[in-house]
């Protein structure tokens, strides 16, 4: 896991080495263990690398790395978890290896199979390979975009790429500026992380499952090498019992593969279903299986706690740890210098979020202080198995509009338990009012007549127009049934791309690699091949995971339905620790002069709301987003 960067002066001018060094080293936190900066192509092209040592801690893992014949050079960020299997295959073909890295395996695989080698890789990656012979640069990203890769393409002038948008603040000759259209989309809650765009002019992101070739004739072409729809053409017709057995075998193997490491590993544990499934499975693997290349320190859970707040999940994490008997570290956010840390983290985060990244970053900051370099996390399964309440509501409204009484009545019984006990009565009343209305015969007839006569788009269709995000046909799922559109869009367009971006930055700003067993491509394609009845049923969402984990984790958590999720306590912070700073900020000259400021009197109304004690969570989030945007430079 590392930080990568590169610059190609397409106008043929010489690239000063210190320009490459400054650009690359601006993301030093991604790789504090070493650096490499090399010029190619008559000193017009440079590849940079910041190393976070995880596999083969020796200098043999130094990058940029060259293939055995010297034809290819690579700068690479990620992990190919099945590299040992691929290495064995290549050795049988006569390839020899000097290191124990997966980087060298990528280079040999590229030499043997070219671009088709990507289909053999099980992992997460972003890399650039320079071909000395054809004088061609290829950049590539993994199937789901777990690892980031941003680029700047100015025809006939420059091509530059890096692991983070932050690096482009340090690219000489380039004046980074905000793209107001994209920023306003982000500020209004419309996610752009999955679109290939950023909030900065000219800085785009290579799409997941894509690669691009940049040649000496100054052409740039992005092409897809992997598409989810090519792997889920038919629904899985196995019984639920067979499905859960097949899923667990894949999941356990995905966890086992991700335990390969020469440095300490831990689990980021929230106390929810997903992270507890990862933690419990990892613990069982270490306890009961013979493992080869796994660090002896790989069993500790790290838990973010928020004493006294509703979002605190410590009691659930305690249940998870009690089941395994493992070790745990509970992290309590140190409020000393909180504002300064929020400012520093936000500037480094380099985009907009509805809550500060600081609490998420704090998990990995705590890990790093404890000597941990790799974290096992539970991301990905919520999006694939209707894990969010709003997804369930969207499905509910879809069936309600269609007049499908049984479907939306069953969904009601799944939605209500996702609320805490205090909020459930109000949620029940709201849904019951709709259900009673929908159950009337006249309402059902009206649905059918209206759908037939108008043939119009569903008024409860929550998909964003692809034109708004500039996606083109890259992720167009509109021809599929709504329930499939919902999970595919959440995974590839809306929620998950933002989560992958946020956690990558939160981890890497603390020099911690995050691994996600649920994002193993075998699991993803398996889950997307299942019918909706395997994902929602028996009063639960994420049904298959719950069924597969019976007897393998705490039963209280396996059956837990109330979802909280990790995030910063923005309402508490805005009302207490951040209050003085916020009021000062909105009354400052910098706020008045900032071109992003639309309401110059925002500070006056805010002062009144503080005095009236009328700030709610939504307002606190709005306050934070305003500040977040103005911290971007």
* Domain membership flag for residue 330: no
Q: Which of 10-24, 230-244, 451-465, 485-499 has the lowest mean pLDDT?
A: 451-465
From residue 110, how far is each of 50, 68, 149, 187, 583 by CA, in Å? 22, 11, 19, 41, 56
Q: How much of the chain exceeds pLDDT 90, in percent?
A: 73
* Domain membership flag for residue 317: no
Q: In this model, does residue 289 exceed pLDDT 60?
A: yes
298-313 average pLDDT score: 91
* Domain membership flag for residue 73: yes
* Integer Cα distance of 258 and 252 in angstroms: 10
* Integer Cα distance of 79 and 102 in angstroms: 7
Instruction: Answer with the one of 166, 201, 226 that is the final residue of a domain.
Output: 226
Residue-averaged pLDDT of the chain: 90
Spatial strand order of the sheet with 203-205 comes to: 34-40, 45-51, 2-9, 158-162, 150-154, 203-205
* Integer Cα distance of 43 and 45 in angstroms: 6
14-28 average pLDDT score: 98
As a residue count, the chain comes to 633
Instruction: Answer with the one of 172, 206, 226 that is the final residue of a domain.
Output: 226
- Please report how many Cα atoms fall inside a 13 Å half-sphere around the Cα of residue 564, on the Cβ side: 25
Is there a contact between 435 and 409 (Cβ–Cβ < 8 Å)?
yes
Is there a contact between 515 and 259 (Cβ–Cβ < 8 Å)?
no
429-454 average pLDDT score: 58
Q: What is the pLDDT of residues 133-187, one digit of tens each?
A: 999 999 999 999 999 999 999 999 999 999 999 999 999 999 999 999 999 888 8
Q: Which of 59-68, 71-80, 437-446, 471-480 has the lowest mean pLDDT?
A: 437-446
* Domain membership flag for residue 449: no
DSSP class per residue in 495-554: HHHHHHHHHHHHHHTTT-EEE-GGG-HHHHHHHHTS-GGGTSBTTBSSHHHHHHTTTTS-
The listed range with the strongest mean pLDDT (119-133, 233-247, 413-427) is: 119-133
Q: For position 285, what pLDDT does the model report?
A: 95
Q: For position 448, what pLDDT does the model report?
A: 47
Buried b (16+ CB within 10 A) or exposed e, 516-536: bbbbbbebbebbbbbebebbb
* Domain membership flag for residue 610: yes
Q: Beta strand 210-215 with 136-141: parallel, antiparallel or unpaired?
A: antiparallel
DSSP class per residue in 187-220: HTT---GGGTB-SBTTEEEPPTTEEEEEETT--E
pLDDT band, very low/low/confident/very high, at 470 (cuts 50, 70, 90): low
Q: Which of 114-118, 326-330, 355-359, 419-423 has the lowest mean pLDDT?
A: 419-423
Q: What is the pLDDT of residues 366-384, one digit of tens each?
A: 999 999 999 999 999 999 9
pLDDT band, very low/low/confident/very high, at 610 (cuts 50, 70, 90): confident
Q: Is 422 helix (H, G, I), strand (E, B) or coil?
A: coil
Task: Count Cβ atoms below 10 Å from residue 139 Cβ, excluding itself.
Answer: 23
Instruction: Answer with the one of 170, 194, 226 that is the final residue of a domain.
Output: 226
* Integer Cα distance of 499 and 503 in angstroms: 6
Residue 89, classified by CB atoms within 10 Å of its CB into exposed (0-12), middle (13-18) or buried (19+), is middle
Q: Quick one: CA dihedral 349, 353, 355, 360, positive or negative? A: negative
Q: Which long-range contacts (CB under 8 A, 24 or more apart) does 213-217 make?
A: 213/136, 213/137, 213/138, 214/8, 214/136, 214/137, 214/138, 214/139, 214/159, 215/134, 215/135, 215/136, 215/137, 216/41, 216/135, 216/136
* Integer Cα distance of 498 and 484 in angstroms: 20
* Domain membership flag for residue 110: yes
* Domain membership flag for residue 596: yes
Q: In this model, does residue 609 exceed pLDDT 90?
A: no
Residues with Cβ within 8 Å of residue 7, at least 6 apart in sequence: 15, 19, 20, 23, 45, 46, 158, 159, 160, 171
Is there a contact between 148 and 193 (Cβ–Cβ < 8 Å)?
no
Residues with Cβ within 8 Å of residue 610, at least 6 apart in sequence: 575, 579, 583
What CATH number should be reported for the domain holding residue 75?
Answer: 3.60.20.10
* Integer Cα distance of 571 and 621 in angstroms: 7
* Domain membership flag for residue 463: no
Is there a contact between 6 and 137 (Cβ–Cβ < 8 Å)?
yes
Domain count of the fold of the chain: 2
* Integer Cα distance of 416 and 425 in angstroms: 9
Q: For position 450, what pLDDT does the model report?
A: 45
pTM higher than 0.75, yes or no? Answer: yes
Nearest in space to 514 (alpha carbons), one of 55, 79, 6, 29: 79
> Structural domain of residue 53, as residue ranges?
2-226
Q: For position 53, what pLDDT does the model report?
A: 95
pLDDT band, very low/low/confident/very high, at 447 (cuts 50, 70, 90): very low
Q: Beta strand 65-66 with 72-80: parallel, antiparallel or unpaired?
A: antiparallel
């Amino acid at each position: 896991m590392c930080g990568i960067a590169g610059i190609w002066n397409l106008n043929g001018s010489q690239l000063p080495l210190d320009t490459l060094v400054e650009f690359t080293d601006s993301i030093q936190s991604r790789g504090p263990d070493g650096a490499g900066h090399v010029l190619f192509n008559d000193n017009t092209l440079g590849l940079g690398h910041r190393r976070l040592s995880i596999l083969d801690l020796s200098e043999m893992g130094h990058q940029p790395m060259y293939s055995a014949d010297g034809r290819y050079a690579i700068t690479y960020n990620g992990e190919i978890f099945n590299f040992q299997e691929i290495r064995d295959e290549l050795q049988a073909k006569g390839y020899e290896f000097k290191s124990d890295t997966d980087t060298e395996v990528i280079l040999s695989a590229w030499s043997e199979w070219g671009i088709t080698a990507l289909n053999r890789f099980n992992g997460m990656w972003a890399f650039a390979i320079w071909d000395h012979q054809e004088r061609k640069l290829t950049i590539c990203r993994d199937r789901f975009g777990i690892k980031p890769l941003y680029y700047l393409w100015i025809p006939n002038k420059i091509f530059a790429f890096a692991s983070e948008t932050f690096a482009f603040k340090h690219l000489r000759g380039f004046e980074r500026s905000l793209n107001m259209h994209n920023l306003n989309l982000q500020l209004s809650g419309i996610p752009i992380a999955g679109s290939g765009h950023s909030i900065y002019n000219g800085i785009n992101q290579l799409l997941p499952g894509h690669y691009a070739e940049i040649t000496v004739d100054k052409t740039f072409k992005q092409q897809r090498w992997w598409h989810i729809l090519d792997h889920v053409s038919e629904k899985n017709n196995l019984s639920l019992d067979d499905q859960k057995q097949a899923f667990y075998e894949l999941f356990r193997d995905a966890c086992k593969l991700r335990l390969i490491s020469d440095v300490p590993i831990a689990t980021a544990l929230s106390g929810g279903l997903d992270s507890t499934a990862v933690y419990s499975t990892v613990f069982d693997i270490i306890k009961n299986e013979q493992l080869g290349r796994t660090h002896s320190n790989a069993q500790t859970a790290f838990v973010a706690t928020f004493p006294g707040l509703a979002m605190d999940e410590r009691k659930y994490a305690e249940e998870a740890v009690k089941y395994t008997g493992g070790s745990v570290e509970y992290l309590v956010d140190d409020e000393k210098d909180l504002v300064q840390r929020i400012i520093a983290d936000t500037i480094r985060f380099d985009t907009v979020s509805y809550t500060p990244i600081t609490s998420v970053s704090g998990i990995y900051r705590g890990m790093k202080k404890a000597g941990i370099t790799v974290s096992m996390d539970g991301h990905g399964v919520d999006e694939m198995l209707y894990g969010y309440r709003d997804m369930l509501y969207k499905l509910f409204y879809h069936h309600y509009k269609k007049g499908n009484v049984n479907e939306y009545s069953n969904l009601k019984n799944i939605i209500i338990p996702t609320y805490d006990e205090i909020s459930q009565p109000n949620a029940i009343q709201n849904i019951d009012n709709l259900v009673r209305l929908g159950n009337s015969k006249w309402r059902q007839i009206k649905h059918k007549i209206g759908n037939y006569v108008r043939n119009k788009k569903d008024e409860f269709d929550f998909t964003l127009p692809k034109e708004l995000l500039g996606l083109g046909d890259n992720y167009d799922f509109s021809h599929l049934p709504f329930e499939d559109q919902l999970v595919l869009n959440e995974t590839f367009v809306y929620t998950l791309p933002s989560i992958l971006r946020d956690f990558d930055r939160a981890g890497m700003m603390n020099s911690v690699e995050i691994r996600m067993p649920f994002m193993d491509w075998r699991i993803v394609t398996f889950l997307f091949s299942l019918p909706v009845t395997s994902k929602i049923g028996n009063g639960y969402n994420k049904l298959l995971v719950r069924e597969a984990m019976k007897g393998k984790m705490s039963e209280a958590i396996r059956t837990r339905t109330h979802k909280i999720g990790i995030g910063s306590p923005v309402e508490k912070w805005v009302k207490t620790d951040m209050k003085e700073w916020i009021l000062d900020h909105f009354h400052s000259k910098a706020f008045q002069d900032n071109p992003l400021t639309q309401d110059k009197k925002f500070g006056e109304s805010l002062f009144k709301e503080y005095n009236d004690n009328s700030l709610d969570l939504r307002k606190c989030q709005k306050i934070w987003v305003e500040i977040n945007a103005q911290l971007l430079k």
